[in-house]
Amino acid sequence: MKFLRNVLATLVGLFLFFGILFFGILIIGAVLGSGSETVMVKDNSVIKLDLSKVKYDYAGKFNYKDFNYKESSPEGVSDIINAIEVAKTDDKIKGITIINNETMLGISQRRAIREKLEDFKASGKFVVAYADVYTQGEYYMNSVADTVYLNPVGALDFKGLATEILYMKGLQEKTGIKMDVIRHGKYKSAVEPYLEDHMSEANREQTTVFLTSIWNTIAEDISKSRNIAIDSINGIANHLSARTPQKALAVGLVDKVVYVDEFHAGIKKALGVAKDKDYNTIDVLDYAKSAANDMKPNTSKNQIAVIYAQGQILSGEGGVSHIGEGSVNRALKKARENDKIKAIVLRVNSPGGSALTSDIIWREIELTKKVKPVIVSMGDVAASGGYYIACNADKIFADPTTITGSIGVFGVLPNFKDVATKFGVNAEVVKTHNLSVGYSPFQTLDPENRAIITEGVEEIYKTFVERVAAGRNMSFDQVDALAQGRVWTGVDALENGLIDEFGGLEKAIAYAAEKVEIDSYKVVNYPEYEVNFEDMLRGFFGASILKTQDELLKEKIGAENFELIERLNYFNQAKGVQALMPCEINIQ
C-alpha cells in the first residue's frame, strides 16, 4: 500500500508539474504574441461582419493571478459597435458585407448592431448582405443593408415569433421525481412546468403580450428599412409569402436573387477592382482589434465606467457567462473609489438567479450611488434578479425589445422519495428536535417545514417589491400590481414606469456624461475576472470534457430530452430562493 501511495503521489506531482509548465508556456506565448501581433488594414477594404464568435455584450478582462498576467478579448458586441463607429470615418474602409452570417445574439443585441449599421450607411459607405438561407433573426439584422441578396435555391424564414414551453408534470408522475415548489407571483412561470401539464391562462397572457410587443418592434424596423407597409409585413409572415427566393423577391424582402460569385462581382465593380482580382477584406474582429490599437489615446482625465453584469446570477466570483457578487462588487467599489471615474453605467443582460446575490449587488449599488451616479443600460433581458440589481439606479435605459420585470421569487426542492422507494431505497431519520432534519430530498416535505420555507419566499418577495418601490419612486401596491412575476417588454416597462427611456448602451453613456457635466471622457470597461490556477485546470480539463459529454448525451437522447435533464439539473443545483425569469422562454 505504501508503494502504491508513493506511485500515486509521484503521478499527481508529475501531472501538476506538467500542468503548470503547459499553462506557463501558454501564458508566455500569449504575452509575446500579443506584443507582436498587428492587424493591417489595406486601402479600399471591406469589413466582413462575421459574428459567429460573438455571444456576449462584453468578452471580458481576465487577471491570471498565479502568473501575474492580464488579458482582454475584443469579441463582445460592444467591440463590434465600436469597430463600426471607427470604420465610419476610416478612409481605408469602403463598406461592410454580411455573408451567411450566423450568430448566437439576442434580438436587442442584433438591434443595437443594426442601428449602428444604419448610422454607418449615413456616411455614404455601403452595407450589403448575402445568404444561402436567411433565418428570421438573421434577416432582421441583415434587412438594414442597402442591398439584400439571396441564393437562387435558398430560402427565407419569415413567419412571426413563437415560443415552445415543455411541461413536465407527467414526467414527474412517471419517474417518481417530484419538484416541491414554493413561489410568489401568479405569473412566475419558471416553475409552472413542474406544477401543470398545460399552460396557465396567466402565462399565456403574458407570453402573448411580450411576443407581440417584440414582433411589432421588429416589423416596424423592417418596414422602415425595406419601405414596406407594416400591414404587408404581417401579411407576408401570416401566409409565408417569402418562403422561396422568388417569392421573397416578389414581396420586396430581398433585392437580388443571385449566386455568391455574382454577389462578389458586384462588390468588385463598386470598388473598381478587376474581375480576375480579389478585393481587400478584413474580418470585423480583426478590425475591432485594429481599431482599439490604432485609436488616438484619449488624454482626458475624466472617465465613465461601464460595468457588465451578464448571464444568470449565481454566487462567488462570476465570469463572462454568469454574474457573481465577487467581480461585480469589486468593480463597483473600484469605480466608486477612483477619482477619475465620474459616473458609472451598469450594463445588465440577465434573466436573474440567486435572490441573495442580487441583494448583495443591490447593496453595493446603493453605496456607490452616494458617491457618483449609477445609470443602468438593459440589454436583451434584465428580468427578475436582473431587474433587482437595476431598480435602484439613477436612471434606466432599455431597448423596446428588452425583456424585463418578472418581479417575483420562488424556491424549488427536488424530491426523490417515490423513485427511491421504487428502487428499494429507504431513508430513516434520527433527530433531536422537531425540525432538525430540515429539507431532505428523500423525505416528504412536512407542512411545518413548507410553512417556514414559504415564509422565507414571501419575505424575499416583500423585500424585492420594497427595493423596486424605493428605486422607482412608487408605492408598494403600485409595484405589486406590476409584479407577481410578470414579464414585460421595454415598451410596456416604459409605460408602467419600470424604466425611464428607450436607448442602448451608447445613449446611457452619453447621458451619464451629461449628468456629471463632462464633454470629454474615456470609457473604461469592467469587471476584471480573477482566475487562479485551479480555475484554469478546471476550465481546461473539466469544461471541455463536460461539453463533449453534453454533446454526446444530446445526440443519444435527443435535444428535447436533454433540455428536460438540464432544467431538472439547474433546479437541483440552485441554492436558496431564486429571483429568476421564466427560463424556458426560447423565442423562435
Q: What is the pLDDT of residues 100-153, one digit of tens each?
A: 988 889 999 999 999 999 999 999 999 999 999 999 999 999 999 999 999 999
**What local confidence, expressed as pLDDT, does residue 73 receive?**
76
Q: Bridge partners of 183?
A: 410
Q: Which of 329, 346, 243 is closest to 528 using CA atoms? A: 329
Residue 36 has a pLDDT of 43
Instruction: Give the chain's domain count.
Output: 2
**pLDDT tens, 215-237?**
999 999 999 999 999 999 999 99
| Residue 268 shares a structural domain with residue 392 | no
Q: Is residue 8 part of a domain?
A: no
| CA dist list (Å): 166 to 16, 163, 169, 179 | 44, 10, 10, 15
pLDDT at 34: 47
* Whether the predicted pLDDT of 203 surpasses 70: yes
Instruction: Collapse the DSSP code of 101 into the 3-class scheme (helix H, G, I; strand E, B; otherwise coil) and give the result.
Output: coil
- For 283-308, write each residue's pLDDT tens digit: 999 999 887 666 666 778 999 999 99
Task: Clarify whether residues 276 and 399 are in a common domain.
Answer: no
d(CA 120, CA 126): 8
Q: Which helix (H) or strand (E) holds 26?
A: helix 2-36
Quick one: which H or E segment has residue 572? helix 559-573
Same domain, 270 and 406: no
| Banded pLDDT at 33 (limits 50, 70, 90) | very low
Query: What are the beta bridge partners of residue 134?
Result: 156
- Locate 312 and state its grid cell: 444568470
272/385 same-domain check: no
Q: Please name the amino acid found at residue 402.
A: T
* Domain-located, residue 28: no
Q: Which has the higher per-residue pLDDT, 546 or 15?
A: 15
Note whether 315 and 325 are within 8 A (CB). yes
* Residue where a domain terminates, one of 251, 274, 294: 294
Question: Which of 230, 259, 294 marks a domain boundary?
Answer: 294
Q: Are residues 139 and 248 both part of a single domain?
A: yes
Residues 363 and 381 in one domain: yes
Residue 393 has pLDDT above 50, yes or no: yes
For residues 264-279, one letter each, b for 16 or more C-beta atoms within 10 angstroms of the residue's C-beta and e for the rest, the string is beebeeebebeeeeeb
Q: What percent of the chain has pLDDT over 70?
A: 81
Cell matching residue 204: 399565456
**Average pLDDT, integer, range 170-178:** 77
What is the band of 548 on the pLDDT scale with cuts at 50, 70, 90? Answer: very low
Q: Is 384 a catalytic residue?
A: yes
Active-site position among 213, 354, 358, 384: 384
Sheet holding 93-99, edge to edge: 256-257, 147-156, 126-134, 93-99, 45-48, 280-283
Q: Are residue 307 and residue 288 in the same domain, yes or no?
A: no
Clarify whether 188 is annotated catalytic. yes
The tens digit of pLDDT for each residue in 63-115 reads 776 666 677 777 899 999 999 999 999 999 999 999 998 888 999 999 999 99
Instruction: Tell me the residue range of the domain where 259 lies.
Output: 45-158+240-294
Out of 294, 317, 338, pick the residue that ends a domain: 294
Indicate whether 232 belongs to any domain: no
Is residue 199, in this structure, part of any structural domain at all?
Answer: no
Q: Which three cell numbers stand for residue 326?
A: 465577487
Q: What percent of the chain has pLDDT over 90?
A: 59
Q: Which residue has the higher pLDDT, 426 or 326?
A: 326
Q: Which of 188, 247, 289, 417 is catalytic?
A: 188
Q: Indicate whether 269 and 309 sit together in one domain.
A: no
> What pLDDT sits at residue 403?
95
Q: ∠ CA 337-333-388 to the nearest 5 degrees?
A: 135
Locate the DSSP E strands across 245-289. 256-257, 280-283
Helix (H, G, I), strand (E, B) or coil at 482: helix
- pTM attached to this predicted model: 0.83
Domain of 409: which CATH number? 3.90.226.10
Torsion of CA 556, 559, 561, 564, to 10 degrees: 140
Same domain assignment for residues 386 and 526:
yes
Write down the mean pLDDT value for the chain.
85
Domain assignment of residue 67, yes or no: yes
Residues 417 and 439 reside in one and the same domain: yes
Are residue 505 and residue 528 in the same domain, yes or no?
Answer: yes
In a domain, 454, yes or no: yes
Residue 102: the pLDDT is 87
Extract the C-alpha cell encoding 9.
Answer: 503521489
Q: And the C-alpha cell for 495?
A: 409605460
558-584 mean pLDDT? 55
Residues 269 and 337 in one domain: no
pLDDT value at position 575? 56
Residue 534 lies in a domain: yes
Q: Which residue would you say has higher pLDDT here, 445 or 239?
A: 239
In a domain, 224, yes or no: no
